[in-house]
C-alpha cells in the first residue's frame, strides 16, 4: 500500500470517552485520523484496508457492565477475527490505552500467541480490580524496556497520568511472566521517581504483577498500556509544566511520533 499520509482508525462505542484526545495525539504526530463507531466497522470490515494504525481509546466501553472491555472484546473475537488477523499479517500497528488495553487482553490479542505455549493458549493474562480496590487518578513514573516493541525504544523514562479502577495486570502463573520476559514483550514498568523498580503503592498504582504497565505481542506492533500518553502531548498538561525545558518533547507525544515514523519507514508511506 502506498499513501502520502499515515492513516489511523480509532474505534469508539458506547462509553468510550478518550477518543478525541487520542485523535489529537496522532494528529500532532502527523497522521490523518478517523474516529469510527464499531457498528460502522462491523457493517464494512473492508475499510480496514485504508488504514495503517488501529487504536482503541480509553473510557468505559459498554459501561464495563460485564467486565472492563469484555463486550467490545467479544465483538472483535466473533465478528472481526479474520480481518484483524490479516491486519497483523500485513505489518500494521494496534494501540490500546487503558480500556483499550483491557479490550486487547480480553480479546486474546495481548499477550497473544507465545512460542512457549500452545498456539490456542492466548488467554494467559487479564486486567482486574486495583489491589487497593478503588479508582486511581494520578501521575506515575514509567520506564520503557523492550527492544522488540516498535512503538518506543527501551530506556526511556516517562511521567504519564493514569485513571482506572481495573488496571492490575495479572498473569495465570509464573510461567507467563517468564515467557513475557523471555520474549521481550514487557514494554513498560512502573518505577519510582528515581527510576528504581516500583514495589509498593503509589509507585505501583494498582498492584500489577512485576509492576507491568504495558506489554506488546510477539510482533512488537500491538501495544497495550494502562497509563495515558495521549494526555501528555503538550507541555502545559504536565503538573509542573512551568519547570520544563521549553524544547522538551512531551513524554506522551514521542510514542505517537515513533509509530508514525515506523509506518513511514516500513510500509512505503511517503512523508
Q: Which residues are catalytic?
A: 98, 228, 230
b/e string for 176-205 if b means 16 or more Cβ within 10 A? Answer: bbebbeebbbbbbbbbeeeeeebeeeebbb
Distance of CA 34 to the CA centre of its chain: 18
Q: Is the peptide bond before 202 cis (omega within 30 degrees of 0)?
A: yes
- Residues pairing with 162 in the sheet: 138
Identify which of 64, 13, 54 has the alpha carbon closest to the alpha carbon of residue 33.
54
Q: Are 42 and 80 in contact (CB under 8 A)?
A: yes
Amino acid at each position: 500500500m502506498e499513501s502520502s499520509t499515515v492513516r489511523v482508525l480509532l474505534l469508539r462505542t458506547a462509553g468510550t470517552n478518550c477518543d478525541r484526545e487520542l485523535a489529537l495525539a496522532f494528529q500532532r504526530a502527523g497522521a490523518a485520523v478517523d474516529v469510527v463507531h464499531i457498528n460502522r466497522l462491523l457493517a464494512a470490515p473492508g475499510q480496514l484496508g485504508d488504514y495503517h494504525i488501529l487504536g482503541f481509546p480509553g473510557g468505559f466501553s459498554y459501561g464495563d457492565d460485564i467486565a472492563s472491555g469484555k463486550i467490545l472484546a467479544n465483538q472483535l473475537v466473533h465478528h472481526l477475527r479474520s480481518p484483524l488477523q490479516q491486519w497483523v499479517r500485513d505489518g500494521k500497528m494496534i494501540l490500546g490505552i487503558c480500556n483499550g488495553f483491557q479490550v486487547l487482553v480480553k480479546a486474546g490479542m495481548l499477550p497473544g500467541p507465545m512460542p512457549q505455549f500452545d498456539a490456542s493458549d492466548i488467554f494467559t493474562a487479564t486486567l482486574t480490580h486495583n489491589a487497593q480496590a478503588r479508582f486511581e487518578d494520578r501521575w506515575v513514573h514509567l520506564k520503557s524496556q523492550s527492544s522488540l516493541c516498535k512503538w518506543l525504544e527501551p530506556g526511556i523514562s516517562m511521567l504519564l497520568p493514569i485513571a482506572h479502577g481495573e488496571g492490575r495486570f495479572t498473569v495465570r502463573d509464573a510461567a507467563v511472566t517468564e515467557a513475557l520476559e523471555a520474549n521481550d514483550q514487557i514494554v513498560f514498568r512502573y518505577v519510582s521517581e528515581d527510576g528504581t523498580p516500583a514495589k509498593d503503592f503509589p509507585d505501583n498504582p494498582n498492584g500489577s504483577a512485576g509492576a507491568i504497565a504495558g506489554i506488546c505481542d510477539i510482533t512488537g506492533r500491538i501495544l497495550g498500556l494502562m497509563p495515558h500518553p495521549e494526555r501528555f502531548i503538550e507541555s502545559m498538561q504536565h503538573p509542573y509544566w512551568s519547570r520544563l525545558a521549553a524544547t522538551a518533547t512531551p513524554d506522551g507525544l514521542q510514542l505517537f511520533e515513533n509509530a508514525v515514523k515506523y509506518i513511514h519507514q516500513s510500509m512505503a508511506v511517503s512523508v
